[in-house]
Structure 1
Amino acid sequence: MEILKSINLAIRFMLEICTLIATGMFGFSLSKNIILRVVLAIVCTAIIAVIWGLFVAPKASQRIELPWRILLEMVVFGIATMSLIRTNHVYLAMVFAIAVIINQILLLIWRQ
């Protein structure tokens, strides 16, 4: 069982990285100007990283308590899902959303 719990935590980390990539892709898609595209990709990614780092991460300085943390996590993952949809990756968005839901359920069941 401990192996499954470790795998679930590793999947969670991968979902967090995918969230940063998805929001960066969304920012990059917002303009035709290459400089602006890069800036927007960095800004969108940074906003999500700061929110996650301040309020959600296990060692966050201002970590919020359950159930509010789960709500914020789902909002952030929802933003990533919508970012994938807006960049025409609908199938990937569906797979991502399902993975997030299953992962979150297992995190709660296993109290991770």
Structure 2
Amino acid sequence: MEILKSINLAIRFMLEICTLIATGMFGFSLSKNIILRVVLAIVCTAIIAVIWGLFVAPKASQRIELPWRILLEMVVFGIATMSLIRTNHVYLAMVFAIAVIINQILLLICRQ
């Protein structure tokens, strides 16, 4: 059982990284100017990273309690899903959203 819990946490980490990539792609898609594209990609990614780091991460300084943390997690993952849709990666967005839902259910069942 411990191996499955570890695998689930590793998948969660990959979903978090995918969230940063998706929001960065969204920021990059907002302009035609290459400098502005890079800046927007960095800013969008940084906003998500700061929110996650402050309120959701296990060692967050201001970690919020359940069920509010789950709600914030789903909002952030929802933003990533919408970012994928907005950048014309609809099927990837569907796979990502399903993976997030399954992962969250397993986290709750395993009390992680």
Q: TM-score range by the shorter chain?
A: over 0.9
- 1:23 positional shift: 0.0
List alignment gaps of at least 5 residues for structure 2.
Answer: none
Aligned-residue CA RMSD (Å): 0.2
Unaligned runs of 5+ in 1: none
What do residues 67-105 of structure 1 show as CA deviations (whole Å, max 9, x unaligned)?
Answer: 000000000000000000000000000000000000000
Structure 1 CA distance for aligned equivalents of residues 2 and 33 of structure 2 = 49
Q: 1:53-72 residue pairs with structure 2 within 5 A?
A: 53-72=53-72
Question: How many residue pairs end up in the alignment?
Answer: 112
- Structure 2 residue aligned with 1:24: 24
SS in 2 for 1:10: helix
Q: Distance in 2 between matches of 1:62 and 1:44?
A: 21
| Residue in structure 2 matched with residue 81 of structure 1 by the alignment | 81
Shift in Å, 1:24: 0.0
**Partners of 1:71 and 1:46 in 2: how far apart?**
20
Q: Measure how far apart 1:60 and its partner are.
A: 0.1
Percent of residue pairs identical? 99
The TM-score with structure 1 as length reference comes to 1.00
Structure 1 segments of 4+ aligned residues over 6 angstroms from their partners: none
CA positional deviation for 1:107: 0.2
